Amino acid sequence: MYIRVFLFIPLSMVSFFKKHWSTVALLVFVALLFIPQTGTPIKVFFNRLIAFSPSEIAEADQESISDYNWQLQDLQGNTVDFASAKDKVILVNVWATWCPPCIAEMSSMQALYTTYKDEVSFYFVSIETTETVQKFIDKNEYTFPVFTTQHNFPKVLETNSFPTTYLISKDGKIIMNKKGAADWNSTSVHKTIDALLAE
């Protein structure tokens, strides 16, 4: 029965697919990108391919954070004052659950957190609802500290790009300011953090 159905495919159609298989494959690939169930994993995969180690900002171009007045809320509903991290090495990651580049770098972020959780103050900040963020964290079994906020970001930490990650020294200098996915568990990031911790 299936063979009979196959035989009724017009030869012109078979010829068309043979001639234009690459175009058809490209169209199918593009269509898959627009379906969330297939599009997100594809985008995450390609973002991981291009996620390189972030680099330090040249010293002359480094900005400093002077305003630590920023109210955050953890996933248990507790208010956390960002000012409690003043005089410490800080990593702030601004992200969203729907963002493929954010998802792509999360495993390297988790590895970095596992290594430095007792020495660096980590703030993974989303402007989504607590419920949405909690569901994402539970599903992926991440253990880094996640916060939500409806308050204005400190001026130098404002961004329209997801993800954006800031590595801040003890004296408030922004040493790294990376937009887009990156490999945060690289040797060079470890060296930078170790140097900042030793200051």
* Boundaries of every domain in the chain: 2-49, 59-198
Specify the residue for token string 């930490």. 157
User: Rounded to whole angstroms, how far apart are CA atoms 40 and 25?
Assistant: 18
Q: What is the CATH number of domain 59-198?
A: 3.40.30.10
- Which comes out higher in pLDDT, residue 46 or 96? 96
* Summary mean pLDDT of the chain: 86
Give the single-character DSSP code of 144.
Answer: S
Read off φ and ψ for residue 163, nearest 5 degrees: -80, 160
pTM, rounded to two decimals: 0.80
User: Rounded to whole angstroms, how far apart are CA atoms 142 and 121?
Assistant: 16
pLDDT at 4 over 60: no
Kindly give the interhelix angle for 100-116 and 187-198, rounded to the nearest 10 degrees: 50
Nearest CA among 86, 104, 85 for reference residue 95 = 104
User: Which two structure tokens, joined as six digits, stand for 84?
Assistant: 């409690």
78: Cα separation from own chain's centroid: 24
Do residues 186 and 53 touch, judged by C-beta distance below 8 A? yes
What are the C-alpha distances in Å from 117 to residues 32, 47, 78, 88?
A: 38, 25, 20, 12
Per-residue pLDDT, averaged over 22-26, amounts to 55
Give residue 7's pLDDT. 47
